[in-house]
Amino acid sequence: MNWGKGIIIGMGLFMLFIIFMCVKMFLLPADDYDHHYYEKGLNFDKDYAKEKQVAADKAQPLIWVSGGVVNILFTEQASGTARFVRPSSEALDKTFAIHTQAEKSAILPVGSLAKGRWRIVLEWESGNKNYLYEKEVDL
């Protein structure tokens, strides 16, 4: 075999390798990235101010799980939302409305939620101030 045939075979194998890699790349699923990344970045300052307000007013709610309910005790009357976020699956996330009365507590029935680790994101308004608090719990 002479040099010419070796070079042609080498170039042919290299071109087949490149074609194989291109086909393989296009057959892979698309990257799942957060389409709202920039919007979340713009809203970060607002959320940070709400979290800081919780610390400044010492308004951290007391959260405990008993049976099939989650009890939340606020420092003042509150109205807002409680979002249960499942780290392993966004499809299992659930949101509850919160409206406390004079007892300053909310009871959320979570018996229908899957067992395991959940992150509770509380966002509420109390006394014309907005608050945001997150905590992880095991149901």
> Domain with 93 in it: what CATH number?
2.60.40.3080
What pLDDT is attached to residue 18? Answer: 96
Q: Which domain, by its residues, includes 82?
A: 59-138
Tell me the backbone φ, ψ of residue 15, rounded to 5 degrees.
-65, -40
- Domain membership of residue 28 (yes or no) is no
- Domain membership of residue 32 (yes or no) is no
pLDDT digits (tens, 9 = 90+) for 18-73: 999 999 988 887 766 777 778 888 888 888 888 998 888 888 888 888 888 888 88
- Domain membership of residue 14 (yes or no) is no
Q: What is the mean pLDDT of the chain?
A: 86
Binning pLDDT at 50, 70 and 90, where does residue 7 land? very high
What pLDDT is attached to residue 116? Answer: 84
- Is 80 within 8 Å of 71 (Cβ atoms)? no
From first CA to last CA, the distance across the chain in angstroms is 72
